[in-house]
Amino acid sequence: SIEEIDDKIDLAVIAIDAKKCIEAMEKCGEKGIRHAVVISGGFSEVGNEELEKELLGIARKYGIRIIGPNCVGVFNAKNGFNTFFQRNMDFPHYGSVAILTQSGTFGIALMEKLANEGIGISKFVSYGNKADVDEIDLMEYLERDEETKIVAMYIEEMGREFFERKFKKRIIILKAGRSKLGQKAASLHTGAMATNYEIFKGVCKQKKVIYADDFEEFFSIIKIASLQGFPKGKRLGIITNGAGPAVLACDFIEEARNVELADMVDLTGSAKASDYIEAMKKMKADIILLVFVFQDAPLAESLEELYQGLKEIDKFCIAVAIGGSFVEEQKKRLLKLKIPVFEEPKVVINSLDKLLIK
Binding to its own copies in span 171-190, by CB under 8 A: 176-182, 184-186
Contact call for residue 298 and its own copies (CB under 8 A): no
Nearest approach, Cβ of 331 to its own copies (angstroms)?
12
Contact call for residue 288 and its own copies (CB under 8 A): no
Q: What is the DSSP string of 137-199?
A: HHHHHHHH-TT-SEEEEEES---THHHHSPPSSEEEEEE---SHHHHHHHT----HHHH-HHH
Which of these ranges, 226-234, 272-280, 290-298, 308-316, lies near its own copies under the rule CB under 8 A?
A: 290-298
One of 16, 23, 78, 86 touching its own copies (CB under 8 A): 86
d(CA 353, CA 348): 9
Contact call for residue 325 and its own copies (CB under 8 A): yes
Q: Quote the Cα angle for 242-244-250, to 5°.
A: 110
Nearest approach, Cβ of 232 to its own copies (angstroms)?
22
- Amino acid in the structure at residue 182: G
Contact call for residue 251 and its own copies (CB under 8 A): yes
One of 11, 115, 262, 335 touching its own copies (CB under 8 A): 115
Contact call for residue 242 and its own copies (CB under 8 A): yes
Neighbours of 34 (CB within 10 A): 16
Contact call for residue 105 and its own copies (CB under 8 A): yes
Chain length of the chain: 358
Tell me which residues in 185-224 interact with its own copies (CB under 8 A): 185-186, 213-216
Tell me which residues in 2-31 interact with its own copies (CB under 8 A): none
Contact call for residue 97 and its own copies (CB under 8 A): no
Nearer to its own copies by C-beta: 28 or 200? 200
Q: Which residues contact 146 (CB under 8 A, 6 or more apart)?
A: none
Identify whether the C-beta of residue 165 lies closer than 8 Å to the C-beta of residue 203.
no
Nearest approach, Cβ of 180 to its own copies (angstroms)?
6
Nearer to its own copies by C-beta: 58 or 219? 219
d(CA 355, CA 41): 36
| N-to-C CA span, the chain | 53
Contact call for residue 261 and its own copies (CB under 8 A): yes
Nearest approach, Cβ of 301 to its own copies (angstroms)?
8
Nearer to its own copies by C-beta: 29 or 104? 104
d(CA 350, CA 282): 25
Which of these ranges, 22-30, 73-81, 200-208, 236-244, lies near its own copies under the rule CB under 8 A?
A: 236-244
Which helix (H) or strand (E) segment holds residue 266: the answer is strand 260-266
One of 12, 97, 98, 293 touching its own copies (CB under 8 A): 293
b/e per residue 62-79 (b: at least 16 CB within 10 A): bebebbbbbbbbbbbbee
Nearest approach, Cβ of 23 to its own copies (angstroms)?
21
* Backbone φ, ψ for residue 116 (5° rounding): -60, -35
